[in-house]
Amino acid sequence: MAKRTFLQAAGRLQDHLAGVPQGHEVPRVPAVWIHSCLRKADKNKDNKMSFKELQNFLKELNIQVDDSYARKIFRECDHSQTDSLEDKEIEVFYKMLTQREEIDYTFAEAAGSGETLSVDQLVTFLKHQQKEEEAGPALALSLIERYEPNETAKAQHQMTKDGFLMYLLSADGNAFNLVHRRVYQDMSQPLSHYLVSSSHNTYLLEDQLTGPSSTEAYIRALCKGCRCLELDCWDGPNQEPIIYHGYTFTSRIFFCDVVRAIRDYAFKASPYPVILSLENHCSLEQQRVMARHLHAILGPMLLDRPLDGVTSNLPSPEQLKGKILLKGKKLGGLLPPGGESAPEATVSDEDEAAEMEDEAVRSRVQHKPKEDKLRLAQELSDMVIYCKSVHFGGFSSAGPSGQAFYEMASFSENRAFRMLQESGSSFVRHNVGHLSRIYPAGWRTDSSNYSPVEMWNGGCQIVALNFQTPGPEMDVYQGRFQDNGACGYVLKPDFLRDLNTTFSARALTQGPWWAPKRLIVKVISGQQLPKVNKNKNSIVDPRVTVEIHGVGRDMASRQTAVITNNGFNPRWNTEFEFEVVVPELALVRFVVEDYDASSKNDFIGQSTIPWHSLKQGYRHIHLLSKNGDQHPSATLFVKITLRD
């Protein structure tokens, strides 16, 4: 009897998966498949489904569900109150989780009066709605093969409504272009032609005055694709250099432990070069220890001499694959000084090694006087090849007789903003052939971040943010660097790589960058938005904000209405229009918040997508948490249209 019950449930579910009412003659999902999924999930073989078993069943069917919503619906379906479901209850549970009217409507739009999509109908949908460049029978058949759960429909080259939903929820139906999830850009241009994912005070897990330092922070940054790390080095006990935020009460970690962590994780997320930005405050003796550790631990990974033939311009990420570079002070030029400099020569420490930031911390914490000179050990100096730290001498000196190609300056965010305002196009031209590093202002002792967008608009490559501090700035940062396979290097647009460019984001004129577009975003619905308020009785009141980040003229933000008490399947059906004149620099951010009339809204999730990675048509946006991790099942369903 119990076995028959399961078979009945399987039969009804197969009808639902075929996308039709019972009794219609259509391709059917084999009862065997559904039954085997039910059987596999029914661990204790009692022909009932506990909550855990139902979760396994849904996994077998490739359906991801937020636990709290699944539990809520499970309780609603458990009429017998036995903490398990059987027969029809299983079918009702499945339907409640997967029923989406907006998908029914979109499917009906594509299928007409039919119960399945033919190859031709799917091609028409892919071409006219999804604006897929490759739309044709081959793409349609590959999507049916990949996402159609009904074997009979698949054999007849048809797509049911369930297959259609699975396609829309997949990477192929994502608003972020699947092609851009791998490295697709030209990686053979000079380093200065790329934006580089860069971290500030990488060693910190929290604030800059009392927070803990940890090798874990380096591992996290590297796993997120970061390619430029900061090492703030000071004399430590027993001749072992340490890393911490100078003149503060942050905890201390050994330099050698950090270098080991970097060696182990440098190329897990990306094969492209890692730059170690050394902020060197060590004595000569401990600098020599640093040099020995770098050689011994990193071995052949460490770039300690110029690449063959690369002595007149910066090498490319491709040429530097698998290499770790040092950025820091250096005695003499690109080639080893060959004994010209005394091994205990002094170099200016005024530009960034002690940084105005440290000066600000110094004055706030211990009122220490500033030291202008740093004695530099030859052994450490010789390891700095293409990233020699220098004081910026102004734009007139940049060029053949001024700053050498391997020399780079660092700028506080305030100084960079000022330069972009006063001489924007000069800064852009400077950044065509030279690397520039931007770091947060000294007053940001809480490790808050500035917006990186304006710095990228000026062609600055190493725009360093506090990776340990979540917020809109890091959201946009992660959005920019999920492009190009999340390898940590994103090629700048043509007009930011042209030595004769006149582009300035602050004083915008017409030029090759001027390509006005209209973006139309229809926010249709949300799915399984996680509860963020700890109050057990609270239910999400979601609101969606769509933002444009780019040149000043393009910055914009629009909001939907608030849907009260519905985080499971809120529907907005709200359309927004944006005009964007420099699309190549634009990013689109989708933010979902839990609205609260009496206090600050709670952040639910977001996704930021670079303009040229945005796919048109009916798309799902998979939301990320505050820390940048993907929510397992929280999505927005939108329709995106681009027009000239």
Rounded distance between C-alpha atoms, residue 628 and residue 606, angstroms: 9
Give the lowest-confidence range in 188-202, 321-335, 365-379.
Answer: 365-379
- CA 436 distance to own-chain centroid: 22
- State mean pLDDT over 207-221: 85
pLDDT computed for residue 367 by the predictor = 47
Closest listed residue to residue 505, CA positions, set 549, 562, 556 = 549
What type of residue sits at position 236?
G
Structure tokens at 539: 């239910």
Q: Is 595 annotated as a binding residue?
A: yes
> What is the pTM (predicted TM-score) of this model?
0.87
Query: Among all chains, which residue has been given the structure tokens 């033939």?
Result: 309
Cβ atoms < 10 Å from Cβ of 364: 14
Q: Is 596 annotated as a binding residue?
A: yes
Instruction: Say how many Å lie between the first and final Cα of the chain, rounded.
Output: 64
Rounded distance between C-alpha atoms, residue 139 and residue 90, angstroms: 34
pLDDT computed for residue 4 by the predictor = 58
Give the lowest-confidence range in 202-216, 312-326, 333-347, 411-425.
Answer: 333-347
Q: Is 327 annotated as a binding residue?
A: yes
Q: Is 318 annotated as a binding residue?
A: no
Rounded distance between C-alpha atoms, residue 135 and residue 148, angstroms: 18
Closest listed residue to residue 622, CA positions, set 641, 611, 638 = 638
Q: Where are the alpha helices (H) located in 192-283, listed in sequence order?
A: 215-223, 255-265
Rounded distance between C-alpha atoms, residue 480 and residue 197, angstroms: 9
Fold of 103-173: Recoverin; domain 1 (1.10.238)
pLDDT computed for residue 26 by the predictor = 40
- State mean pLDDT over 182-209: 92
- State mean pLDDT over 327-349: 66
* Level-2 CATH architecture, domain 517-643: Sandwich (2.60)
Q: Establish whether domains 103-173 and 517-643 are of one fold.
A: no
pLDDT single digits (tens) 146-187: 999 999 999 999 999 999 999 999 999 999 999 999 999 999
Structure tokens at 291: 């040099």
575: part of which helix (H) or strand (E)? strand 571-580
Q: Give the residue extent of every domain in the chain.
A: 1-99, 103-173, 191-496, 517-643
Dihedral (Cα; 484, 224, 199, 547), 10-degree rounding: 60
Q: Which CATH superfamily is domain 191-496 in?
A: Phosphatidylinositol (PI) phosphodiesterase (3.20.20.190)
Rounded distance between C-alpha atoms, residue 461 and residue 515, angstroms: 23
pLDDT computed for residue 93 by the predictor = 82
Q: Which residues contact 113 (CB under 8 A, 6 or more apart)?
A: none
Specify whether the CB–CB gap between 225 and 197 falls below 8 A.
yes
* Level-2 CATH architecture, domain 1-99: Orthogonal Bundle (1.10)
Structure tokens at 1: 């009897």
- CA 451 distance to own-chain centroid: 15
pLDDT single digits (tens) 513-534: 999 999 999 999 999 888 887 6
Q: Is 500 annotated as a binding residue?
A: no
- Give 261 or 395, the one with higher predicted confidence: 261
Kindly list the catalytic residues: 200, 245
